[in-house]
Amino acid sequence: MTQTAQEAFAQLDPQAWTKVSIEERLQILAEIQANMRQYGAELGQAEMAMKNRLTGADLYSQTDGMLQTLVAVGNVINASTFIYQTLAETGKMPEAKSIRDLGDGTFEVEVFPTAPVDQMTAATQHGYLRLVGQPKQVSPLDKEAGIIAVSGAGNYSSSIETIKAIFFDNKTVIHKAHRLNEATDKVWEKIFAPLVERKALSFAGVDYSRDLIQLEGLDAIYFTGSTAVAKNIMASTDTPLVSECGGNNPAIIVPGDRPWTAEEIKNQAELIVSISKGNGGAACGRPQTFITSKQWVQREEFLDAIRQAAQSTFAVGTYYPKSADVREAFLAAHPQAEIIKPEGGQYPNTDFLFIPDMDKSAYGVTHEAFCQIMGEVALDVPATAEAFLPAATAFANDELLGTLGCMILIDDETRANHEASFQTALSELNYGGITVNTTPPMVWFNAYLTWGGCKETKENFVSGIGNFGNALNFEQVEKSILVEQFAATGFLYNDRQATDAMNQQVINFTLGNME
């Protein structure tokens, strides 16, 4: 039965939730884990059906649907279990792996990998939080009772904000799905039944958005969606808003001290294109504009590799509403855009638009695509890390839209030779999620990192205000950084069956470690 916002509010008991013991919380987490295994296929089927219907072709698989819904939530559930097990055993929060004083009032805290299971999933990845002021952790058990309204995103049905609010922030939650995810939300209700039964979670119908944000007694609103809607929410209520609203995210291609091999160029081009195609381009952290040096001798080779990767990686359906209008606007502003048709253009809504050598103030720089569109800006600076990194940082900060995610590609030798300049770039890049040799959406998937914009204000924001919390509950987080080796391959869309099989392994691993 669909509930109104007020009915969902009345169903919660925030004081009772704060009194739930660690042992019972661990039992609840185990029950949710079991439900994820039981209903995971149904969830993936609902996600798949929605996207294929909007695409007009059966391009999304059940495995795609399960990956995009279960894995991020599973990571938060695993992290929550580790936190509460540690609290039960030691009475304290898990400690960070290391803390480094950066000397300017900020600190870098290594938080991933932390739990034993993380050691297997991390491989060569390391995750860091950049904090303002002395590092401070707060146990979720020490946080006050309250109610948070979560207004879910349209491009994914992973309710990570909801689970983080409950298990990281000690709050009860009203969850309202985006209309696109109404079917998957019904499955989530079954998965999260243990929380509903304990009056820690309730679900409001998709028609009650305005009523939800105007409820009296909310402690905060968590919103994922467009900047315009976020600003409308702020104008409609005095309730504090934590929002994530996307942007035009850069990929900074650092010229190497040595030439990149043909295989390295191919691999990095496929990495960028694959994540840009992922979910039909409807991924908030996907790199949209990559930044090169016009003087880089391998630039044309890299651009050709991008074209080849867009052609040879398999077709992915663009499904998000109004993407066709966005595409037409970009084509009108950039008639030179190259229209690439993977798999011979046999599927509808799968074109990939590539716009090389954009002007620094071009439409493609100042607008978010949120679909399969990618552009390049070539800065006329020397092709050295020392000259290029400061110029690319300034361009990314000053010209591109938003502050959500930033990707840096740099080979290991060049990084080692220019570590000081590299660290300066990490400090100065005004982005909430920075990745090195991997993609910004991997920050979103990581429960120990934060997701949101960086240093934006209520008066003038694009990517949003605040961020969605980190498992170790460090306060005053400015940005998250995820670092990988240059040779890492990540998720490449070279072969549909192979990618599906790899995704299934990730799903099985996530759910299989929930015993």
What would the mean pLDDT of 211-215 be, rounded to a whole number? 96
Q: What pLDDT sits at residue 164?
A: 98
Looking at residues 362-382, what average pLDDT do you find?
99
Specify the domain boundaries for CATH 3.40.605.10 within the chain. Answer: 5-93+141-244
Q: Is the pLDDT of residue 453 over 60?
A: yes
Express as a percent the part of the chain with pLDDT over 90: 94
**159-183 residue pLDDT tens:** 899 999 999 999 999 999 999 999 9
Mean pLDDT of the chain: 96
> CA-CA distances (angstroms) from residue 47 to 184, 189, 254, 421?
6, 15, 37, 43
pLDDT the model gives residue 515: 45
Which numeric CATH code is attached to 249-438?
3.40.309.10
pLDDT tops 80 at residue 490? no
Looking at residue 120, what is its pLDDT? 82
pLDDT of 100 higher than 50:
yes
CA–CA gap between residue 195 and residue 189 (Å, rounded): 9
At 121, the pLDDT band (50, 70, 90 cuts) reads: confident
| Residue 232 confidence (pLDDT) above 80 | yes
pLDDT of 411 higher than 60: yes
Label residue 420 by pLDDT band (50, 70, 90).
very high
Q: What does the pLDDT read at residue 290?
A: 97
pLDDT for 122: 87
Please give the sequence-ordered ranges of beta strands (E in DSSP) within 404-471, or none if there are none: 405-409, 433-436
Pull the structure tokens for residue 161.
Answer: 């904000």
Beta bridge partners of 377: 291
The CATH code that applies to domain 5-93+141-244 is 3.40.605.10
DSSP for residue 144 = P
Return the DSSP state at 322.
T
- Beta strands 338-340 and 106-112 are unpaired
Q: Say what the pLDDT of residue 294 is.
A: 99
Q: Please report which confidence band the pLDDT of residue 488 belongs to, taking 50, 70 and 90 as the band edges.
A: confident
pLDDT confidence of residue 117: 86
Task: Please list, in sequence order, all residues whose beta carbon lies within 8 angstroms of the beta carbon of residue 475, skipping any fewer than 6 positions away.
Answer: 131, 136, 137, 138
Of the pLDDT bands very low, low, confident and very high (cuts 50, 70, 90), residue 320 is very high
Longest dimension (CA), the chain: 64
**Banded pLDDT at 26 (limits 50, 70, 90):** very high
CB 247 within 8 A of CB 404: yes
What is the tens place of the pLDDT at every residue in 271-316? 999 999 999 999 999 999 999 999 999 999 999 999 999 999 999 9
Residues of the chain with CATH 3.40.309.10: 249-438
Mean pLDDT over 76-104 rounds to 97
Name the band, by pLDDT with cuts 50, 70 and 90, for residue 187.
Answer: very high
Mean pLDDT of 347-356: 99
Q: What is the pLDDT of residue 159?
A: 82
What's the whole-number mean pLDDT along residues 486-514? 86
What's the average model confidence in pLDDT over 436-443? 96
Reported confidence tier of residue 109, pLDDT bands at 50, 70, 90: very high
State mean pLDDT over 55-61: 98
Mean pLDDT is lowest, of 164-173, 357-366, 389-398, 502-511, for 502-511
What is the average pLDDT across 488-493?
A: 81
pLDDT value, residue 297: 99
Q: Choose the weakest-confidence range: 69-78, 155-164, 356-365.
A: 155-164
Order of strands, sheet of 249-253, starting from the edge strand that comes earlier in the sequence: 98-101, 106-112, 126-132, 477-483, 433-436, 405-409, 249-253, 287-293, 373-379, 352-355, 338-340
Strand partners, 434: 406, 481
pLDDT at 119: 84
Assign 328 a pLDDT band (cuts: 50, 70, 90).
very high
Model pLDDT, residue 201? 99
Predicted pLDDT of residue 491: 78
pTM: 0.97
Q: What are phi and psi of 468, to 5 degrees?
A: -90, 130
Q: What is the DSSP string of 89-124?
A: HHSSPPPPSEEEE-SSSEEEEEEES-SHHHHHHHTT
Band of the pLDDT at 101, cuts 50, 70, 90?
very high
C-alpha angle 236-238-243 in degrees, rounded to nearest 5: 80
Q: How far apart are CA 375 and CA 364, in angstroms?
A: 7
pLDDT of amino acid 514: 43
